[in-house]
Amino acid sequence: MNIMLKRPGQNSPQNMLDKFGVIELIHFERFCRDNLQWEEMKKCFATHSTVSVSWFQGTGQEFVEASKKMKAYIPHKLYNTEVWLHNNKAVAITMATISARMNLNGHLVELQSDVKLLYRTQQIDGLMYVVSMEGIYEKDALVPVTPNADISVPADEIAKFRSSYANLAYFSMIEGNKVSQELPGMDKPEMVNKLYQEADEWLNI
């Protein structure tokens, strides 16, 4: 039985409350990340949770510790969120934009990366926790903060990376980090479909 990516049916009041609880959890997790509330962020993740995003793959607790050590301020803008429920589990997909600033050739530039964040959540001992979080990369841009700034990025450098997150990968390389070229992205729909299928199967167990 496929549950995900289906048109919502008639929601009961309890379903609406449960969906709101899931949305509140994942929005609060991102709020904590952007506002350096590390201990509260840890409380959002289940003990055996996993995270797989551009710059990190590991457990939820390790993700918090790694985020804590990052020097750059990389805030998130969250948009609409869809939630699918089944028993004590839920899968949510949140549309987001990740932004970061860096100095490039003496000019301030801003990276803007559009991404879907796929969360699996589960109720454990009466509370909902994040079981996994995975990024699905759509598109990105590297733009000057000051209009008419003379910014030049070698085309052959950008061409080394996937179109779904080429500027993000370039930005990370400049910062001394490496980004996998095997992340789910809109330029590889088979990877995205596989991720959705796995999430749907997990939801049905």
Q: Say yes or no to pLDDT of 60 above 90.
A: yes
Instruction: Tell me the β-bridge partners of 133.
Output: 51, 119
Q: Say yes or no to pLDDT of 47 above 90.
A: yes
3-state secondary structure at position 99: strand
pLDDT at res. 151: 81
pLDDT per position as a tens digit, 143-197: 899 887 788 888 898 999 999 999 999 988 887 888 899 999 999 999 999 999 9
C-alpha distance from residue 84 to each of 52, 69, 88, 195 (Å) = 21, 33, 11, 15
CA–CA dist 96, 31 (Å, integer): 12
- Which of the pair, 105 or 131, is modelled with greater confidence? 131
pLDDT at res. 109: 92
pLDDT per position as a tens digit, 69-84: 988 889 999 999 999 9
Q: Say yes or no to pLDDT of 36 above 90.
A: yes
pLDDT at res. 97: 98
- Which of the pair, 6 or 123, is modelled with greater confidence? 123
| Domains of the chain in sequence order | 13-204 (3.10.450.50)
Residue 54 contacts residue 137 (beta carbons within 8 Å): yes
